[in-house]
Amino acid sequence: MPILATACSAAGGKRITIELNSVPIRTALQMLWAQGGPEDTTFKIDNSVPEDITVTLSARNVPFDTVLDSLCNGTGLAYRVDRGTYFFQKTEGRADKIVITRFGDNLNWDLVNADPLEAARQLLSVFEKRSDQDVAADPTAELTEAARRLAQDLLQISQMSPAEQAARLKDLKKDVQKYLKPPKDPVGARRTLTIKESNTSFSEAMDKLGEAAGFLWFRRADGRIVLRRTTSADAVKRIFMKEGIFDALSR
């Protein structure tokens, strides 16, 4: 029986390394198959797939099936497998375009009717970030950890000169705005995002995707990026007040 999927049902296959930067979808699939397509398989693309769809993808030593999963999610394709041939076709309700190009610590991005949560997944992949993407999980533990870290930062700032304190507090307040003003809508409330920007930082991009998709994101001490569901501003304030930092950050 043919299998229909919007993404691979299980990660596996040959591990590959591939870099695609705004490559036409047909060329991208040719390159992907050349790198590590399953033995004795080929692919065909339905006429419903527009010629101008492009792929931006960065993968290093990643299973073929995982890369194919990202490609399908990023371009709005589905596929079925029949007697060794992967048949690709366009699906409804998925991203029209997700293009993310990394330049050092910054990026250029072009999203058209994109699922912001999928864009966040691709952004994390492009920047090679280890992550925990459980957006249904409660954010209390992560907010508490963030508040304690901020309390330590404030203690260090209190020992500086007045001029240094003013500068550091300004930067600190800017960093925590995403906590004091969390996204109002839950995950899935908004389904698409269209944006085109250049020279955007990773943090700025994640903030915008979190606002659009309704999630909070955190950077742990080990560098791991954690995504959690949103919560109310009052809940954030209670946690920050408990750690004794809300008044200082609100001045």
Per-residue confidence band for 7, with pLDDT thresholds at 50, 70 and 90: very low
Q: Are 53 and 24 in contact (CB under 8 A)?
A: yes
Q: Are 4 and 87 in contact (CB under 8 A)?
A: no
Q: If you ran DSSP here, which 8-state letter would residue 223 be given?
A: S
Within a 13 Å sphere around the CA of 6, how many CA atoms are in the beta-carbon half? 10
Q: How many angstroms separate the Cα of 173 from the Cα of each of 140, 207, 251?
A: 20, 15, 9
pLDDT tens digits for 176-211?
777 777 676 655 555 678 888 999 999 999 999 988
Mean pLDDT of 83-88: 86
Per-residue confidence band for 6, with pLDDT thresholds at 50, 70 and 90: very low
Q: How many angstroms separate the Cα of 198 from the Cα of each of 49, 50, 99?
A: 28, 25, 12
Nearest to 227 by CA among 236, 237, 238, 214: 214
Q: Are 130 and 223 in contact (CB under 8 A)?
A: yes
Computed from CA positions of residues 27, 28, 29, 35, in that sequence, does the dihedral angle turn out positive or negative? Answer: positive
Percent of the chain residues past pLDDT 70, beyond the cut: 84
Mean pLDDT of 149-159: 82
Q: What is the pLDDT of residue 11?
A: 37
Q: Buried b / exposed e across 175-189, counting CB within 10 Å, b at 16+? A: ebebbeebbeeebee
Angle at the Cα of 71 from the Cα atoms of 66 and 76, rounded to 5 degrees: 130
CATH code given to domain 3-94: 3.55.50.30
In the chain, domain spans: 3-94, 131-190+215-250
Helix or strand run (H / E) with residue 55: strand 54-63
Q: Are 195 and 109 in contact (CB under 8 A)?
A: yes
**In angstroms, how far apart are the furthest CA atoms of the chain?**
72
If you average pLDDT over each of 50-54, 72-76, 226-230, which comes out highest? 226-230
Nearest to 125 by CA among 169, 66, 183: 66
